[in-house]
Chain A
Amino acid sequence: MSEDGTLFDAEFMERIEYLKLMATRMLPSRHRGEHRARKRGTGIELADYRPYVDGDDTRDVDWKAFLRLDKLVLRVFDEEADLPVYLFVDQSASMRFGDPPKFDYARKMAGALSYIALMNHDLISIAWYGPRIGEWMPPKRGRNQIYRAFRFLDAGETGGGTSLNQCFRAFFGSRRKRGLAVVLSDLMDPEDLLAAFDHCRYQKHDLVVVQILTPDEQDPRLPDEALLTDVEDGSERRVRVTPRLLARYREALEAHRREVKDYCSRYGFGFALASTGVPFEEAVLDIFKQDRFIR
């Protein structure tokens, strides 16, 4: 955080400008400012052909092809649409751990993603979540909304537990325009994460899950005898720390990560693991590499 207390200072702006440049180079064939939805619709860009069936709009029949082939062939267009990007930032107590704290790391990533999206004329909506959906910034479009997004992110605070399932049920329970949901969290959620993702999937939203962990979480350094207290629920576990136990912890953490990642792969969602030990822009680029955020 900068000296004036804001996460989004001049240095941050320089770094997301770099990100923007990198994103442009990574996706040279894409049209800036335009995103094609998966939905085939009434756009002007031809996407494909398919046989005509009853009920299709006869305006889309390719009559030249009919003359050549003596068959009714329908032209299919990509539907041009604004891409709403829903950023869900975990504000539970566990996010305050790490150096830098996972929460700051998540906010910076959210800021960077917001900037990139707004620069691409996308709709941006940011929501805090913990045990339930907290304050949220309604969808905004336009480059001039970036500072509003920064102020929103800068004002966030940590505390309480986590329940992404409850949050998604509440958030996507209302009708939302289909878009891209980005979850920035450590995913230390005692409830069923996959059930939460199912809400997103059933509503046909795209999803990118970013798991943010500290190096200490990935490779704990603990004394021989430790009494571990969960900062969110206050539960205590006494452990005798051995190399074997630590290895088993790492295996369990990896299994937890793999469970989420496999789910995402199975349903075509994106997943990225971000460590607070590496600069946040590398994590953002990792998200870009998944060819989902910028199309």
Chain B
Amino acid sequence: MGFAAAPLAILIGVLLTGAVVLVLYWVRPEPQPITVPSNLIWRRVLDERRRREDFWRWLISLLVALLASLAVVLALSEPAPAGAGAGGRVVLVLDTSPTMAAAAGGGTTRWDRAADHARGILESAGPGTEFLILDTAGQRGGRSFDDRRAGLEAVAALGPVFDAEHALPDLADLLDSEAATEVVLIGDGVRIPEVPDGVRAISVFEPVDNAGITAFDVRPLPTDPGRFEAFVEVVRHTASPDASVLVLQIDGAAGASVRRTLRVEPGVPRGETVPLAGFVSGPVRAVIAGAGADGLAADDVAHAYVPSRNRLRVLLTGEESPYWEAALRLDPRVSLTRAPEGADPFADFDPGAFDLVVIEGDPPPEAPPRPVLIAGSGSADWLPPRLGGTTEAAVTLPMRSGREPHPALSGVDFGDALAREVDAFDPAAEADPGRGGWRILAGDARLGLLAAREQPLRVLAFAFPLARSNLALQPDFPVFLSRALSWLTDVEVRRSGLGAVRVTIAEGGVFDAEGREVPSRRIGSDLSFQADLPSLYYVAGGGREVVVAASLLDRAASDLNRSAWAGEPSAAAPPGSPPVATLWPILALFALVLLVVEWVAFHRHVTV
């Protein structure tokens, strides 16, 4: 039998147990004084008892105390049976990719089985074995080996991670230096197909059919920005070559619902556009069902948000601009108020009575307290820094490729728009978070022509007066304006994957769709929370509310069977009841029972 505990721990165990025994012997009730006619008989009894039974009582008590002490010390020493293996250094790499959340039969998931295997290795290892627990999401990046208990705690703290890039951690140093006696990778071979030399792979892969939503978006109709449609992409992965029938249901606020039956070919994504004619502004959820066995529940549901269609109260101020006025009046949602030129609009009008302020020309020194759409060349602290001077430039979109288009510019092409008197924004402002979190939407690497920011209020700023360009004459300008108005005034909706979400918002809280508060913590100027389930999360604070639509929407995650280890048998379940894990609690319990029995026997005079 070997011991995992250090000699110091054993010594502490001996001292502690001895102290406990002594205390228990010392704690005795005070005797009750009784006057008796004579102690003659008692003397005879007690003298006889002392001679014979006290000795045996003392001896038995000592033996029991010693036995209890030994049991406690053994329990603290974490004994392992002989032949449990010598000490060593074992590296366990756990695949925490999203596909590990897939069902693996018996009500478990691939992750459950992987964790069981890991625990089995930890608990069956020999005494003194050290462990390093790593994962593919980089949650555990340390390189220090620890004992079994720490390893078990590390495994318990891990789980599938949806919002990280998964890769096999760098094991070269461990393998080359032979710092580790064994390196074990436990996973399903989907995200981490490669197994380096010297690494023992344990597969928990089991093929399973799965249907999932891989895209879900609510967008305005190009022909009518006030109406919306939902785009849903579903996919069905199954071993059967036949097409599957899926039922897609989209539910919205106020009981609105749409149901479609889709025929989906195996492994081929199927896109479906669904008009949301009867849907009011608010949350909307897409659910697929009816596909038989389903390996991953997280991709069966997706969430989005239908923007508002209310009337927008717009205050137009600054220089006379027929373009702005004409374009704004074309939007049926807009209720326009024109501030006289030269007047101080923020003195004569209550900005709080408007949903949006549109400014043509020089900006006011202070930012209006409402979202702003501004076109002008003047500088202000609340606008992005400018390069200085004026120039002429073509308004090109998009500024950079490979980036998700801004909601205000989605589907917009400014064609041959040209602007004069451009006092361009400095594109470097985009890279400097200290400058207000601006994003340059139009221009090039030298000239920023259109900038947008989210915080603290949304602002869309052109680097030139609208009157000094032909932008308003472009065919897509009404579309842009409609999108811009929606983005500036609508509820702020963010789409997010599952996992950690960070929202730039002042002090506030996070609530789920049921109104329950979600634990969150502040990281710098952001509020961070964990979106573990597909749902809508409401982040509110500082007079602002952000709706986070968290959905998986990951084609790779939905394809559960694309495993490089598909041909290999899944590892058998680890053996149950490993001896080491159960031996020390039994010993500790045995010691406790002995102490209690001894204490009770002593104080209840069973053996005295």
- The answer, yes or no, to whether B41 is at the interface (CB within 8 Å) is yes
- The answer, yes or no, to whether B381 is at the interface (CB within 8 Å) is no
Q: Is the CB of A253 within 8 A of B46?
A: no
- The answer, yes or no, to whether B403 is at the interface (CB within 8 Å) is no
- The answer, yes or no, to whether A190 is at the interface (CB within 8 Å) is yes
Q: Is the CB of A239 within 8 A of B32?
A: no
A164 to B36, CA, bound (A): 20
Q: Which of B23-31, B283-291, B384-392, B480-488 contacts A (4 or more CB under 8 A)?
A: B23-31
In whole Å, how far is B431's beta carbon from the nearest beta carbon of chain A? 83
- The answer, yes or no, to whether A5 is at the interface (CB within 8 Å) is no
A212 to B34, CA, bound (A): 21
- Contacts from A to B (Cβ < 8 Å): 93-95, 97, 102, 186, 188-190, 214, 217, 222-233, 235-242, 245, 248-249, 252-253, 256
- The answer, yes or no, to whether B51 is at the interface (CB within 8 Å) is no
Q: List 16 A-B contacts (CB under 8 A).
A: A94-B38, A186-B38, A224-B29, A225-B29, A225-B30, A227-B31, A228-B34, A228-B36, A230-B39, A233-B39, A240-B608, A245-B49, A248-B48, A252-B44, A253-B41, A256-B41
A187 to B312, CA, bound (A): 115
Classify the interface of chain B: helix, strand, loop or mixed. mixed
Question: Which residues of chain A are near B39, meaning CB under 8 Å?
Answer: 228-230, 233, 235-237
Question: Which residues of chain B are near A186, meaning CB under 8 Å?
Answer: 37-38
A252 to B44, CA, bound (A): 7
Q: Is the CB of B37 within 8 A of A217?
A: yes
A94 to B39, CA, bound (A): 10
Question: Which residues of chain B are near A226, meaning CB under 8 Å?
Answer: 31-34
In whole Å, how far is B606's beta carbon from the nearest beta carbon of chain A? 7
Which of A235, A240, A252 sits near B605, CB closer than 8 Å?
Answer: A240
Q: Is the CB of A237 within 8 A of B46?
A: yes
A233 and chain B: residue at smallest CB distance: B39
Question: Which residues of chain A are near B48, meaning CB under 8 Å?
Answer: 248, 252
Total contacts A-B at CB 8 Å: 94
Question: Which residues of chain B are near A239, meaning CB under 8 Å?
Answer: 31, 42, 46
Which of A94, A229, A245 sits near B33, CB closer than 8 Å?
Answer: A229
A98 to B203, CA, bound (A): 86
A224 to B603, CA, bound (A): 9
Q: Which 7 A-B pairs have the closest CB atoms?
A: A94-B37, A188-B38, A242-B605, A225-B31, A230-B39, A227-B31, A97-B37
Question: Which residues of chain B are near A241, meaning CB under 8 Å?
Answer: 605
Q: Is the CB of A248 within 8 A of B38?
A: no
Question: Which residues of chain A are near B177, meaning CB under 8 Å?
Answer: none
A227 and chain B: residue at smallest CB distance: B31
Question: Which residues of chain A are near B37, meaning CB under 8 Å?
Answer: 93-95, 97, 102, 186, 188, 214, 217, 230-232
A81 to B92, CA, bound (A): 114
In whole Å, how far is A26's beta carbon from the nearest beta carbon of chain B? 32
Q: Is the CB of A229 within 8 A of B34?
A: yes
Q: Is the CB of B34 within 8 A of A223?
A: yes
In whole Å, how far is B226's beta carbon from the nearest beta carbon of chain A? 89
Which of A94, A102, A249 sits near B42, CB closer than 8 Å?
Answer: A249
Which of B30, B42, B606, B608 sits near A237, CB closer than 8 Å?
Answer: B42
Q: Is the CB of B41 within 8 A of A249?
A: yes
- The answer, yes or no, to whether B343 is at the interface (CB within 8 Å) is no
Q: Is the CB of A228 within 8 A of B42?
A: yes
- The answer, yes or no, to whether B516 is at the interface (CB within 8 Å) is no
A186 and chain B: residue at smallest CB distance: B37
Q: Is the CB of B32 within 8 A of A227?
A: yes
A235 to B38, CA, bound (A): 9
Contacts A225-B28, A237-B46, A245-B49; A252 near B41 (Cβ below 8 A): yes
Question: Which residues of chain B are near A225, meaning CB under 8 Å?
Answer: 28-32
In whole Å, how far is B24's beta carbon from the nearest beta carbon of chain A? 15
B46 and chain A: residue at smallest CB distance: A237
Question: Which residues of chain B are near A235, meaning CB under 8 Å?
Answer: 39, 43
A229 and chain B: residue at smallest CB distance: B35
- The answer, yes or no, to whether B157 is at the interface (CB within 8 Å) is no
A235 to B31, CA, bound (A): 15
